[in-house]
Structure 1
């Protein structure tokens, strides 16, 4: 998905062992492990006068992870993929040296009825040695993702490794993404179960960290490996993100991520001149911002 029109709310605060911000990137924290962009889609009501229609746009140097909670999307891309994504499943597109794609509401849902669309569009930066790899696409159904229960909490390992389990999503660096829903108060133990930087996204409900209540819509980023305890309020829903950081800085412009500013400029020129790898069955085109 394109981040055209994205506004990063420059709100962040320090509550002790955690930084708190409105998704990423935010002012005090540009990445969480290899995760460089997290966009919360909705929840929004779609229907006869409003559908999701993201025209053809490009990516380099990253993998996109689409995770829907409600609603459905049709993904098409320049390597010939046509895939419907349903709630709880994962679309994992590796852009590598360059790929273009579209995301649209399925025709079957354009029937005059209203429905809710809600999910997360996530970008994971690729290791420097894989930035120019061939593009790939993988769809992992919800029933293939590891699920388990601990007390009043249910867990789903969306991607990577954690809690002694491994997701079938073919990631390219050590990372994790975990979904947790709880019915009663639940004390979260991440220290013994996850490795690397940790981000906690509050989807619904709230959590208590370092003596402060953090409401939905925020992400907490742990500053230390042994951070203060986190307690989930009843009926909360959170996502855990993170993993090992990269030794090199990442540059981001529009939909492009790279270790080199020159590589970003090359991609910008290719998209502007329409020499970028394009889709054969779609002639839509999202212009480069500013042109």
Structure 2
């Protein structure tokens, strides 16, 4: 099997994939190795044949967009699937990109997973102020399951105005200086520390509000964990409260339909009509 090394980016993968297509290298002959990845012990180094400068590979622009989106899905065979779909479409098999085909179904499942993770970032990321006169003005730490930072970050630039902000993840980071987006494919340690240590002075007030408005009577554990996955709780101010509130609901708080501190306030309780 041929080892094809690239820098781990979609752009570099696309260039290498084009060369392989023009050289007639089939998907089963290729092992894709991104930055820092090791191949098998008996695999052969990359040796593509001469590329015909006059030949060209034409595929729909929409397919390239789909492949780029699916490339953000973190899984061991992400580049292999992309090349297999690209190879089949380039050879005239358009079903490779359709739901119902084994490769097309997996392709669109990954695209859906990436879109959902971008939605999670938009919904569950929390900025904290860094300090007066500091750059950036706000910082946030987020742990996405897929490589969605670059595609999801412009959402915050549109909503934060001229404020500068930093989003750091375990892998990469992005800094918006109020005018320009700066991307680091390896999160600098200083950025990581800044994002993880930023404290929101309004966090306690927010937790009090969240606890007082929590409605045990409407709690559906499965629905809640589907819309707010457990893996995000540790980085949310209210995350530490959720298990306690859920426990109280199971213990009988659902009868009141309100958090305990609200249900115990003095006032007239209106019963149901007879």
Q: Same fold (TM over 0.5)?
A: no
With the length of structure 1 as denominator, give the TM-score of the two structures: 0.24
Structure (1/2) with the larger strand percentage: 1
1 or 2, which has the higher helix percentage?
2
Larger RCO, structures 1/2 (Cα 8 Å, 6+ apart) = 1
TM-score (norm 2): 0.25
